Amino acid sequence: MFKVCFIILKENRTLQLPGSTSTNPGISDLPVVPPVGMQITDVKTGVPYYVVKVQDVRQGTPGPSFLDYLAELEPRATVATPDEASKTTPEVAEAGTRSMQEKVVAYQQWTERYGHIRPHISADYQGHKFVAAGKRLMYSNTWKFVPDFLRDYIPTVFGKEWGDTEQAKPEAERHPVFQWRVEALRYMNTQSRKPDGSFEARPSGFLAAYMGFAFNLFAVEDNGGLDETLLRRLKHHEQFQGARHELFAEATCLRAGFRIEREDEKDPTKRHAEFTAVHITTGERFSVEAKSRHYAGVLGRPGSVQLPEKMSLTFGHLINDAIAKKPQYPLVIFVDTNLPFRTAQRLYAPQSVNPIVPPRYMLRLVERVRKDHSGVDPYAMLIFTNHPHHYSEPNELDPQRHVLAIISTTMGGTKLQALQALYWAVNLYGNIPNEFPPQ
């Protein structure tokens, strides 16, 4: 349900559902209805209550639209103290336990696969699928699966004017995202459909690029709020590469269980990190920088694409530029090496697997940065990634991605716990759900 849920009590109390920030008397701001059996705690007294009944109370005559339908139903949850709840019938208790267990398992499975971003909120009404993205509600009669929705999602964010402008350009001059979309649709049109209308095919590089970008964009809008400045940069042909990597860094932090706080970019007295990431579980704060290596002719950059053996493998200047901002909190630097697969394979391949010894080049790079800063790590964590989707040829399968993370030995305790969550989350990129969650 896309509305709040009223909590019915014998007397007015300030309640808060798990995950809710609302402490308004008798009301929760969660866009879901609590299941029977869920515990709700009075945040003022600490007294626990249990949901013993959930029902939709119709407030008027059914209207013709989906939004009218939502407005007419007021979900209400009746709660009771533990003693009162223990007197409910065995059927109610069993139903509550079963419902809670199913939801816990489903949430655990979602988190393991997609991280700490909320599952899609969707509903079916009169042949249309309604999907929420942050504060926006979209609908279509063609969205049976999540990839169907993601296919159409980017145009709703970038806007019709942007799309019409790119459509009018020669193919080679179009924005990278528009090129990915065209190639992805061409690729999918060559695949055979299953009886349910879905496709079952390994993704091409361009399809993986488009869907991965779309899911990152959705995750940020739906969970953190899409920054208008970042959106303008994403839509700009030549600024896209850096903005895309910043979007990846933000989506990764959200998946790792962080919330995003933006700095005041209007303050001219100092340089700013991309954003501050606050780990919700530990409360640890980190300044986050995202740096991407540019090459001529790649990801909207002017010039001709270089041969792989001619590409410069220098990344120290990106790290030093991030450090030079002198951020307020321990620094996490996301570095996009932006290389073709085979070149990246040589860069990322470990010297040894058992025991694991990081690549020689990366060790030299880290040592050089440490030496330039009086023998001390000037960062909390370096996260090197290589997502070479865009180096693919049309209809070529998506090449392998690479990840290498280095955590400073000065990090321990809850800081280390938060940084390990980041490393876990960075490997979730590319995991995209196929089915919408049950309503």
Q: Are strands 331-336 and 285-292 parallel, antiparallel or unpaired?
A: parallel
In the predicted model, is pLDDT for residue 1 greater than 70? no
Closest CA to 300 of 250, 233, 371, 352: 233
Q: What is the pLDDT of residues 62-91, one digit of tens each?
A: 444 444 444 444 445 555 555 655 565 666
Cα 424 from Cα 422, distance rounded (Å): 5
The mean predicted confidence, pLDDT, of the chain is: 82
Q: What is the pTM of this model?
A: 0.80
Cα 25 from Cα 11, distance rounded (Å): 10
Per DSSP, the three-state class of 74 is: strand
Q: What is the pLDDT of residues 248-280, one digit of tens each?
A: 999 999 999 999 998 776 666 678 899 999 999
Cα 333 from Cα 321, distance rounded (Å): 10
Cα 378 from Cα 343, distance rounded (Å): 28
Percent of the chain with pLDDT over 70: 76
Which helix H or strand E contains 345, and what residues bound it?
Answer: helix 341-348
Question: How many CA atoms, within 13 angstroms, populate the side-chain half-sphere of residue 361?
Answer: 14
User: Which amino acid, residue 57?
Assistant: V
Question: Beta partners for 286?
Answer: 277
Q: Is 62 exposed, middle or buried (0-12, 13-18, 19+ CB in 10 A)?
A: exposed
Per DSSP, the three-state class of 55 is: strand
Q: What is the pLDDT of residues 54-66, one digit of tens each?
A: 554 444 444 444 4
Task: Report the sign of the C-alpha dihedral through residues 170, 171, 172, 174, in that order.
Answer: positive
Q: How far is CA 428 from CA 77, 183, 212, 344, 431, in A?
A: 35, 24, 11, 19, 6
Q: How far is CA 305 from CA 171, 297, 314, in A?
A: 16, 5, 17
Closest CA to 258 of 283, 240, 238, 239: 283
Question: How many CA atoms, within 13 angstroms, populate the side-chain half-sphere of residue 209?
Answer: 33
Cα 143 from Cα 312, distance rounded (Å): 43
Q: What is the pLDDT of residues 407-427, one digit of tens each?
A: 999 999 999 999 999 999 999
Q: 10 Å Cβ neighbour count for 212?
A: 24
In the predicted model, is pLDDT for residue 40 greater than 90? no
Q: Where are the beta strands (DSSP E) in 251-307?
A: 258-261, 275-279, 285-292
Our CA angle for 200, 202, 204, nearest 5°, is 125
Cα 282 from Cα 300, distance rounded (Å): 39
φ, ψ of residue 99 to 5 degrees: the values are -60, -45
User: Which amino acid, residue 362?
Assistant: M
Q: What is the pLDDT of residues 360-399, one digit of tens each?
A: 999 999 999 999 999 999 999 999 999 999 999 999 999 9
In the predicted model, is pLDDT for residue 31 greater than 70? no
